[in-house]
A and B are shown apart, each in its own frame.
Chain A
Amino acid sequence: DGGITQSPKYLFRKEGQNVTLSCEQNLNHDAMYWYRQDPGQGLRLIYYSQIVNDFQKGDIAEGYSVSREKKESFPLTVTSAQKNPTAFYLCASSIRSGGENTGELFFGEGSRLTVL
Chain B
Amino acid sequence: RKEVEQDPGPFNVPEGATVAFNCTYSNSASQSFFWYRQDCRKEPKLLMSVYSSGNEDGRFTAQLNRASQYISLLIRDSKLSDSATYLCVVNVDLGSWGKLQFGAGTQVVVTP
Contacts and interface: CB of A to CB of B under 8 A. Distances in A.
A33 interface: yes
Interface centre among A45, A90, A105 (most CB of B within 10 A): A105
Nearest to B104: A42
A104 B45 CA distance: 8
Q: How large is the interface on A (under 10, 10 to 19, 20 to 34, 35 or more residues)?
A: 20 to 34
B91 A42 contact: no
B98 A48 contact: yes
Interface stretch (A62-70, A77-85, A91-99): A91-99
A25 interface: no
B1 interface: no
Contacts of A105: 44, 46, 97, 100
B71 interface: no
Interface in A99-116: 99, 101-105, 107-110
Interface string A41-54: 11111001010000
A103 B55 CA distance: 15
A18 to B, nearest CB: 24
Given A42-B87, A43-B102, A103 B32 contact: yes
A98 B97 contact: yes
A2 interface: no
A76 interface: no
B91 A103 contact: yes
Given A42-B87, A109-B42, A33 B102 contact: no
Interface of B: 2, 4, 8, 32, 34, 41-46, 49, 87, 89, 91, 93-98, 100-105
